[in-house]
Amino acid sequence: MAALADRPFVKMNGLGNEIVVLDLRDAPVPVPAEEARALARPDVLPFDQIMALYPPRAAGTDAFVRIINADGSEAGACGNGTRCIALYEAGRTGRDRLLFESVAGLLDCRIVPEGVTADMGVPRFGWQDIPLAEPFADTRAIELQIGPIDAPVLHSPSVVNVGNPHAIFWVDDVEAHDLGRFGPLLENHPIFPERANISLAQLVAPDHLKLKVWERGAGLTRACGSAACAAAVSAARTRRTGRNVRVTLPGGDLLIEWRASDDHILMTGPAAFEFEGRLTPAMLDAAASAA
Protein backbone atom coordinates (compact mmCIF):
# COMPACT_ATOMS: atom_id res chain seq x y z
CA MET A 1 0.00 0.00 0.00
CA ALA A 2 1.33 3.42 -0.95
CA ALA A 3 2.21 5.67 1.99
CA LEU A 4 -0.24 8.39 0.93
CA ALA A 5 -3.16 6.13 0.01
CA ASP A 6 -6.54 7.36 1.26
CA ARG A 7 -5.12 10.71 2.42
CA PRO A 8 -7.28 13.77 1.71
CA PHE A 9 -5.73 16.68 -0.16
CA VAL A 10 -6.66 20.23 -1.06
CA LYS A 11 -5.55 21.68 -4.38
CA MET A 12 -4.76 25.40 -4.21
CA ASN A 13 -2.70 27.97 -6.06
CA GLY A 14 -0.87 31.18 -5.39
CA LEU A 15 -0.73 33.30 -8.57
CA GLY A 16 -0.92 30.09 -10.60
CA ASN A 17 1.85 28.37 -8.62
CA GLU A 18 0.14 24.98 -8.22
CA ILE A 19 0.08 23.75 -4.61
CA VAL A 20 -1.18 20.52 -3.04
CA VAL A 21 -1.89 20.78 0.69
CA LEU A 22 -1.62 17.50 2.61
CA ASP A 23 -2.77 17.81 6.22
CA LEU A 24 -0.97 14.92 7.91
CA ARG A 25 -1.24 16.19 11.47
CA ASP A 26 -3.67 13.48 12.60
CA ALA A 27 -1.66 10.56 11.22
CA PRO A 28 1.85 11.67 10.16
CA VAL A 29 3.65 9.76 7.41
CA PRO A 30 6.59 10.78 5.23
CA VAL A 31 5.94 11.89 1.66
CA PRO A 32 7.99 9.46 -0.43
CA ALA A 33 9.87 11.14 -3.27
CA GLU A 34 8.71 8.55 -5.76
CA GLU A 35 5.05 9.14 -4.85
CA ALA A 36 5.48 12.91 -5.15
CA ARG A 37 7.06 12.52 -8.61
CA ALA A 38 4.31 10.17 -9.70
CA LEU A 39 1.49 12.39 -8.48
CA ALA A 40 2.99 15.43 -10.22
CA ARG A 41 2.46 13.89 -13.65
CA PRO A 42 0.13 15.96 -15.88
CA ASP A 43 -2.51 13.21 -15.98
CA VAL A 44 -2.59 12.59 -12.21
CA LEU A 45 -2.31 15.65 -9.91
CA PRO A 46 0.14 18.14 -11.40
CA PHE A 47 1.67 20.53 -8.88
CA ASP A 48 4.73 22.66 -8.28
CA GLN A 49 4.94 21.95 -4.54
CA ILE A 50 3.30 19.79 -1.89
CA MET A 51 2.87 21.57 1.44
CA ALA A 52 2.74 18.70 3.96
CA LEU A 53 1.48 19.74 7.40
CA TYR A 54 2.76 17.81 10.43
CA PRO A 55 2.11 18.17 14.17
CA PRO A 56 3.68 21.32 15.63
CA ARG A 57 7.21 21.09 16.99
CA ALA A 58 7.53 24.61 18.37
CA ALA A 59 5.16 26.01 20.97
CA GLY A 60 2.55 28.36 19.57
CA THR A 61 2.79 27.13 15.97
CA ASP A 62 -0.06 25.62 13.95
CA ALA A 63 2.00 23.00 12.14
CA PHE A 64 5.45 21.96 11.04
CA VAL A 65 5.50 22.10 7.24
CA ARG A 66 7.63 20.13 4.83
CA ILE A 67 7.80 21.41 1.26
CA ILE A 68 8.15 18.81 -1.48
CA ASN A 69 8.95 19.81 -5.07
CA ALA A 70 7.50 18.13 -8.12
CA ASP A 71 10.72 16.15 -8.60
CA GLY A 72 10.45 14.73 -5.08
CA SER A 73 13.20 16.91 -3.58
CA GLU A 74 12.60 18.98 -0.46
CA ALA A 75 12.62 22.78 -0.39
CA GLY A 76 13.23 25.10 2.52
CA ALA A 77 10.75 27.79 1.50
CA CYS A 78 7.79 28.37 -0.78
CA GLY A 79 6.16 31.77 -0.52
CA ASN A 80 3.11 30.95 -2.61
CA GLY A 81 2.65 27.67 -0.77
CA THR A 82 2.93 29.49 2.56
CA ARG A 83 0.09 31.81 1.59
CA CYS A 84 -1.97 28.77 0.57
CA ILE A 85 -1.56 26.94 3.87
CA ALA A 86 -2.30 30.15 5.75
CA LEU A 87 -5.59 30.53 3.87
CA TYR A 88 -6.32 26.82 4.39
CA GLU A 89 -5.72 27.05 8.14
CA ALA A 90 -7.67 30.30 8.42
CA GLY A 91 -10.64 28.60 6.78
CA ARG A 92 -10.33 25.64 9.14
CA THR A 93 -9.92 27.65 12.36
CA GLY A 94 -11.49 31.04 11.64
CA ARG A 95 -8.31 32.81 12.78
CA ASP A 96 -6.60 35.56 10.79
CA ARG A 97 -3.13 35.09 12.31
CA LEU A 98 -1.27 31.84 11.67
CA LEU A 99 2.21 30.62 12.53
CA PHE A 100 4.01 27.73 10.86
CA GLU A 101 7.48 26.25 11.23
CA SER A 102 9.64 24.94 8.38
CA VAL A 103 13.24 23.84 8.12
CA ALA A 104 14.03 27.47 7.24
CA GLY A 105 12.39 28.88 10.39
CA LEU A 106 9.07 30.36 11.51
CA LEU A 107 6.50 31.63 9.02
CA ASP A 108 4.21 34.27 10.53
CA CYS A 109 1.13 34.90 8.35
CA ARG A 110 -1.77 37.34 8.46
CA ILE A 111 -5.00 37.33 6.46
CA VAL A 112 -5.36 40.79 4.87
CA PRO A 113 -7.71 42.34 2.28
CA GLU A 114 -5.15 41.66 -0.49
CA GLY A 115 -4.89 37.99 0.46
CA VAL A 116 -2.15 36.86 2.83
CA THR A 117 0.92 38.62 4.18
CA ALA A 118 3.70 36.19 5.05
CA ASP A 119 6.86 37.03 6.97
CA MET A 120 9.54 35.21 4.96
CA GLY A 121 12.29 35.91 7.50
CA VAL A 122 15.71 37.47 7.06
CA PRO A 123 17.68 36.99 3.81
CA ARG A 124 21.18 35.55 3.99
CA PHE A 125 23.94 36.93 1.76
CA GLY A 126 27.11 35.14 2.83
CA TRP A 127 28.50 32.84 0.13
CA GLN A 128 28.60 29.93 2.58
CA ASP A 129 24.96 30.54 3.60
CA ILE A 130 23.51 30.50 0.09
CA PRO A 131 25.52 28.18 -0.37
CA LEU A 132 28.11 28.63 -3.12
CA ALA A 133 30.88 26.20 -3.94
CA GLU A 134 33.60 28.85 -3.60
CA PRO A 135 34.05 32.13 -1.73
CA PHE A 136 32.70 35.42 -3.08
CA ALA A 137 33.25 38.54 -1.00
CA ASP A 138 30.35 40.36 -2.67
CA THR A 139 27.24 38.34 -3.54
CA ARG A 140 25.49 41.30 -5.13
CA ALA A 141 27.12 40.12 -8.39
CA ILE A 142 29.11 36.89 -8.73
CA GLU A 143 31.22 35.64 -11.63
CA LEU A 144 28.87 33.38 -13.58
CA GLN A 145 27.84 33.67 -17.20
CA ILE A 146 26.14 31.83 -20.03
CA GLY A 147 27.41 32.29 -23.58
CA PRO A 148 30.65 33.58 -25.11
CA ILE A 149 33.15 35.19 -22.74
CA ASP A 150 33.22 38.42 -24.74
CA ALA A 151 29.43 38.56 -25.26
CA PRO A 152 27.61 36.55 -22.58
CA VAL A 153 23.88 36.05 -22.85
CA LEU A 154 23.45 36.15 -19.06
CA HIS A 155 26.04 37.20 -16.52
CA SER A 156 26.82 38.50 -13.02
CA PRO A 157 23.79 37.36 -11.04
CA SER A 158 22.94 38.53 -7.56
CA VAL A 159 22.68 35.57 -5.18
CA VAL A 160 20.83 35.23 -1.88
CA ASN A 161 19.24 32.61 0.33
CA VAL A 162 15.57 33.18 1.18
CA GLY A 163 14.98 29.73 2.60
CA ASN A 164 16.23 28.43 -0.76
CA PRO A 165 19.27 29.42 -2.87
CA HIS A 166 18.41 32.04 -5.51
CA ALA A 167 20.32 33.55 -8.42
CA ILE A 168 18.90 36.67 -10.08
CA PHE A 169 20.14 37.72 -13.52
CA TRP A 170 19.40 41.35 -14.39
CA VAL A 171 18.17 41.77 -17.97
CA ASP A 172 16.61 44.52 -20.07
CA ASP A 173 13.70 42.29 -21.14
CA VAL A 174 12.75 39.01 -19.44
CA GLU A 175 10.90 37.93 -22.59
CA ALA A 176 14.05 38.16 -24.72
CA HIS A 177 15.65 35.08 -23.14
CA ASP A 178 14.71 31.39 -23.26
CA LEU A 179 14.75 30.56 -19.56
CA GLY A 180 13.38 27.11 -20.31
CA ARG A 181 16.62 26.43 -22.17
CA PHE A 182 19.08 27.97 -19.72
CA GLY A 183 17.22 27.16 -16.50
CA PRO A 184 18.22 23.48 -16.12
CA LEU A 185 21.89 24.24 -16.80
CA LEU A 186 22.01 27.10 -14.32
CA GLU A 187 19.98 25.29 -11.64
CA ASN A 188 22.54 22.49 -11.69
CA HIS A 189 25.68 24.60 -12.19
CA PRO A 190 28.61 23.41 -10.01
CA ILE A 191 28.74 26.81 -8.28
CA PHE A 192 25.45 25.82 -6.55
CA PRO A 193 26.10 22.66 -4.51
CA GLU A 194 22.44 22.50 -3.45
CA ARG A 195 21.16 23.67 -6.85
CA ALA A 196 19.41 27.03 -7.13
CA ASN A 197 16.30 28.85 -8.23
CA ILE A 198 17.11 30.89 -11.34
CA SER A 199 15.35 34.18 -12.08
CA LEU A 200 15.45 36.77 -14.83
CA ALA A 201 14.62 40.21 -13.41
CA GLN A 202 13.75 43.37 -15.31
CA LEU A 203 13.60 46.83 -13.73
CA VAL A 204 10.32 48.41 -14.87
CA ALA A 205 10.37 51.34 -12.43
CA PRO A 206 12.12 52.21 -9.16
CA ASP A 207 9.32 50.39 -7.33
CA HIS A 208 8.44 47.70 -9.89
CA LEU A 209 10.19 44.53 -11.12
CA LYS A 210 9.18 41.98 -13.73
CA LEU A 211 10.30 38.42 -13.08
CA LYS A 212 10.48 35.02 -14.74
CA VAL A 213 11.55 32.01 -12.68
CA TRP A 214 13.02 28.57 -13.24
CA GLU A 215 12.22 26.94 -9.90
CA ARG A 216 14.60 24.39 -8.43
CA GLY A 217 12.89 21.01 -8.57
CA ALA A 218 9.85 22.29 -10.46
CA GLY A 219 11.00 24.07 -13.65
CA LEU A 220 9.35 27.08 -15.25
CA THR A 221 6.60 28.36 -13.00
CA ARG A 222 3.91 31.02 -13.22
CA ALA A 223 4.94 32.37 -9.83
CA CYS A 224 7.53 31.83 -7.11
CA GLY A 225 7.12 33.79 -3.89
CA SER A 226 10.61 33.19 -2.53
CA ALA A 227 12.09 34.26 -5.90
CA ALA A 228 10.05 37.47 -5.77
CA CYS A 229 11.46 38.11 -2.30
CA ALA A 230 14.99 37.31 -3.48
CA ALA A 231 14.68 39.63 -6.48
CA ALA A 232 13.25 42.49 -4.40
CA VAL A 233 15.99 42.23 -1.78
CA SER A 234 18.70 41.99 -4.43
CA ALA A 235 17.28 44.98 -6.28
CA ALA A 236 17.47 47.04 -3.10
CA ARG A 237 21.00 45.81 -2.34
CA THR A 238 22.16 46.85 -5.81
CA ARG A 239 20.35 50.22 -5.52
CA ARG A 240 17.99 49.48 -8.36
CA THR A 241 14.96 49.99 -6.11
CA GLY A 242 13.98 50.90 -2.58
CA ARG A 243 12.76 48.41 0.01
CA ASN A 244 9.12 48.34 -1.18
CA VAL A 245 8.45 46.92 -4.64
CA ARG A 246 5.79 45.32 -6.74
CA VAL A 247 7.00 42.17 -8.47
CA THR A 248 5.11 41.08 -11.58
CA LEU A 249 5.30 37.37 -12.46
CA PRO A 250 3.45 35.55 -15.26
CA GLY A 251 0.74 34.64 -12.73
CA GLY A 252 0.28 38.13 -11.30
CA ASP A 253 1.70 40.60 -8.79
CA LEU A 254 3.25 40.28 -5.33
CA LEU A 255 3.99 43.16 -2.98
CA ILE A 256 7.35 42.82 -1.22
CA GLU A 257 8.57 44.90 1.70
CA TRP A 258 12.11 44.41 3.03
CA ARG A 259 11.51 45.90 6.44
CA ALA A 260 14.27 48.29 7.52
CA SER A 261 13.68 47.82 11.24
CA ASP A 262 14.65 44.14 11.37
CA ASP A 263 15.46 43.09 7.76
CA HIS A 264 12.48 40.72 7.61
CA ILE A 265 10.85 40.25 4.20
CA LEU A 266 7.06 40.65 4.08
CA MET A 267 5.31 39.20 1.04
CA THR A 268 1.67 40.01 0.27
CA GLY A 269 -0.45 38.36 -2.39
CA PRO A 270 -3.48 36.17 -3.12
CA ALA A 271 -4.10 32.48 -2.65
CA ALA A 272 -7.03 30.46 -3.96
CA PHE A 273 -8.76 27.12 -3.44
CA GLU A 274 -9.30 24.94 -6.52
CA PHE A 275 -10.72 21.61 -5.35
CA GLU A 276 -10.28 18.86 -2.80
CA GLY A 277 -10.15 15.10 -3.05
CA ARG A 278 -8.56 11.93 -1.76
CA LEU A 279 -5.45 10.08 -2.89
CA THR A 280 -7.03 6.74 -3.66
CA PRO A 281 -5.00 3.52 -3.90
CA ALA A 282 -6.01 3.15 -7.54
CA MET A 283 -4.80 6.67 -8.31
CA LEU A 284 -1.44 6.07 -6.63
CA ASP A 285 -1.04 2.61 -8.17
CA ALA A 286 -1.71 4.00 -11.63
CA ALA A 287 0.75 6.79 -11.05
CA ALA A 288 3.43 4.45 -9.69
CA SER A 289 3.12 2.08 -12.63
CA ALA A 290 3.74 4.92 -15.07
CA ALA A 291 6.47 6.65 -13.11
Task: Please check whether residue 195 is in contact with residue 217, taking contact to mean a CB–CB distance below 8 angstroms.
Answer: yes
3-state secondary structure of 207: coil
Torsional sign, CA 35, 120, 209, 239: negative
Closest CA to 162 of 75, 261, 40, 275: 75
The whole-angstrom separation of Cα 36 and Cα 41 is 9
Give the phi and the psi of residue 55 in degrees, each rounded to 5: -55, 145
The whole-angstrom separation of Cα 226 and Cα 237 is 16
The whole-angstrom separation of Cα 5 and Cα 279 is 5
Q: How many CB atoms lie under 10 A from the CB of residue 205?
A: 10
Q: How many CB atoms lie under 10 A from the CB of residue 170?
A: 21
Q: Is 229 a catalytic residue?
A: no
**Residue 263 carries which side chain, given as an amino acid letter?**
D
Q: Which of 78, 84, 109, 229 is catalytic?
A: 78
Q: Is 78 a catalytic residue?
A: yes
Task: Please check whether residue 139 is in contact with residue 181, taking contact to mean a CB–CB distance below 8 angstroms.
Answer: no
Q: Which of 84, 109, 224, 229 is catalytic?
A: 224
Please state the length of the chain: 291
Q: How many CB atoms lie under 10 A from the CB of residue 51?
A: 27
Closest CA to 22 of 164, 111, 32: 32
DSSP sequence for 138-169: -TTS-S-EES-TTS-SEE--EEEESSSEEEEE
Cite the active site residues: 78, 224
